[in-house]
A and B are shown apart, each in its own frame.
Chain A
Amino acid sequence: MSTPVTAGTAVERPYEIVVGLEVHVELTTESKIFCSCPTRFGAEPNSQVCPVCLGLPGTLPVLNRRALEQAVRAALALNCRIQPVAKFDRKNYHYPDLVKGYQISQYDLPVGYEGWLEVGDPANPRRIRIRRVHLEEDTGKSLHDQAPGASVVDYNRSGIPLLEIVSEPDIRSAEEARDYLMHLRQVMLYTGVSDARMEEGSLRVDCNVSVRPRGSDVFGTITEIKNLNSFRSVVRAIEYEAQRQWEVLSAGGTLRRETRHWDERREVTVALRRKEEAHDYRYFPDPDLLPVPLPADWVEEIRASLPELPGARRRRYVLDLDLSVRDADTLVGDPGLAGYFEDLLAAGAEARAAASWVLTQVLAWLNAQGAGIDAFPVPPARLARLLRLVDEGTISMTAAKDVFEEMVRTGAEPDAVVEARGLRQISDQAALLEIVDRVLAANPQPVADYRAGRQQALGFLVGQVMKETRGRANPQLVNDLLRQRLSSDG
């Protein structure tokens, strides 16, 4: 009962893929990391900038306390150790979207380090180590299709707080990379640190990819694929790049350590033009910012305020509640839905039945309405009551679905609907036996067929009883009674 973490094709490959991921997530602060400009997405170009985030001379950065707190929160949720004193450094390079000629980032004393995130089957998870989690400011955004023959820059993004999460090269397939990203994204959502919307660029991924012969423990030459903006692109780009590297090596060629771009349309990676100079960011401590102590008691306060994290929840759903990995993933992946499921459990519903209802009936309604769980009109306690009516055999599953429809439509209590529509299941053996005998008498041919060994005739007879009772007969009981009657007297 496990979803394989590695792609099926991995087995046939002569090589192993080695991947490390650098993920940038945008924090959910109201204001930027070092100035008070708003962080709202989609504003008019250059409408959310000030002298600080434009890098004008004479300005000084002042750290946003909430951004720091969110960084610690995320680092803790990723099982990191927290630096007692963090500091900010300057990463120096020149690019039009970088206003000051340096980016304020963290070099040797990041907020968090030595963490991990579990992926794969909760019964047998793989632990991907996290090297570091650090805070930095985002750059502006360059656009190349606005002005003819030129590029243009919008600095609204300049100074938006980012968290960079760097994994160790522990990922062994494109699928595992996706799995890691899915779990990382869930951690961001559960902790409220980021809304992690890839389509809005609030979660961006750089992949470091290399290959090596299966069984080798030596690392190959790494290429970096920059700025992937969907899980699908990540998977395709890693698959493509690994295959390309292996073909170069198999043909006796050598690989260059280089940065490559994923061409979404052609589905290939392309080398970025190599700059004359090697990258040399000449990091040094930013003299505009003093060291940032992260006192242990404050850190522990933040740790205590963490909710149940997606990894723990997933483990509990699979190992304790016996849900399938797939169902657990769907629930955990939607915190609202998972919350509703938790409320059902609290109201006494049996876990597997509750998961099944949430993931079929409830989800179908939400999808049809294009609504979130907040808009779902049936309170958990009321749905739990309906589940109980099924569990106790008071109504059939078929009837329960009708009751559910009505509850959603009218907000009625399940018991009231059952009574009003006479849906109470007939579990009275004597009453059912009478109907069974009537059906057997009226259908001599199917009875003969069944006795001649044609099992499917039983289905027809069950159907007849259900019809007689307008669907209210307990199907299991009908089955038992029919078999009993058909085998006893010939």
Chain B
Amino acid sequence: MPVTPDDVRRVAQLASLELDPDDETRLVQKVQQVVEYVDRLQAVDTAGIEPLAHPYAGSSTPMRPDTARQGLPVDEVLANAPDRFGPFFRVPRMIEEGQDD
């Protein structure tokens, strides 16, 4: 499956990455290689083999009891925030609603 610059731009947009044109050309080739590798894997006959959700086959996820413990003090929570407003993280305004048409 050939990878196009459009594919790369779309994936970049989904990942919130900004690419300059050089990045794009380079990434088309890189992603093409990954896709080809996956194509080779796809060719393997897996009929009759249990699907594997995780490489640690046979083990199961560790769990914890439901006991609560106080979290971090709010100043530590906000220590790395680029911008804060009182006890909140401040972010660019998110406008959700559009006009009905």
A residues neighboring B (CB under 8 Å): 29-31, 36-39, 44-51, 53-54, 62-68, 85, 87-88, 92-96, 101, 109, 142-144, 146-147, 149-155, 261, 268-274, 276-277, 280, 282, 285, 287, 289-293
Classify the interface of chain B: helix, strand, loop or mixed: loop
A273 and B94 CA atoms in complex are apart in Å by: 11
| Complex contacts, B93 vs chain A, CB 8 Å | 144, 149-151
Q: Which of B25-33, B37-45, B64-72 faces chain A? A: B64-72
Contact status B98-A152, CB under 8 Å: no
Q: A96-B94, A151-B92, A155-B77 are in contact. List 16 more A-B contacts (CB 8 A).
A: A30-B66, A37-B70, A45-B86, A46-B74, A48-B70, A53-B71, A54-B77, A63-B61, A66-B66, A144-B94, A147-B90, A151-B90, A151-B91, A271-B99, A271-B100, A277-B13
Choose among A46, A66, A92, A95 the residue that contacts B77 (Cβ–Cβ < 8 A). Answer: A46
A44 to B83, CA, bound (A): 18
Q: For B54, what are the chain A residues with a Cβ–Cβ distance below 8 Å?
A: 87, 285, 287, 290-291
**CA–CA, A36 and B68, complex, Å:** 5
Q: How far is the CB of B84 from chain A (nearest CB, A)?
A: 9
Contacts of A46 in B (CB 8 A): 74, 77-78, 87-89
B67 and A293 form a contact (CB under 8 A): no
CB atoms of A66 and B61 under 8 A apart: no
B56 CB contacts on chain A under 8 angstroms? 290
In the complex, chain B residues whose CB is within 8 Å of the CB of A63: 61-64
**Is A271 a contact partner of B98 (Cβ separation < 8 A)?**
yes
Query: Given the complex, which residues of B lie within 8 Å of A150, measured CB to CB?
Result: 83, 85, 90-93
B14, A282: Cβ atoms closer than 8 Å: yes
Partner of B71, one of A49, A62, A287: A49
B62 and A62 contact, CB distance less than 8 A: yes
Q: How far is the CA of A163 from the CA of B72 in the complex (A)?
A: 26
Interface centre among B66, B72, B91, B96 (most CB of A within 10 A): B66
**Other-chain residue from B67, B78, B91 in contact with A36 (beta carbon distance below 8 A):** B67
Complex interface: chain A residues within 8 A of B66 (CB): 29-31, 64-67
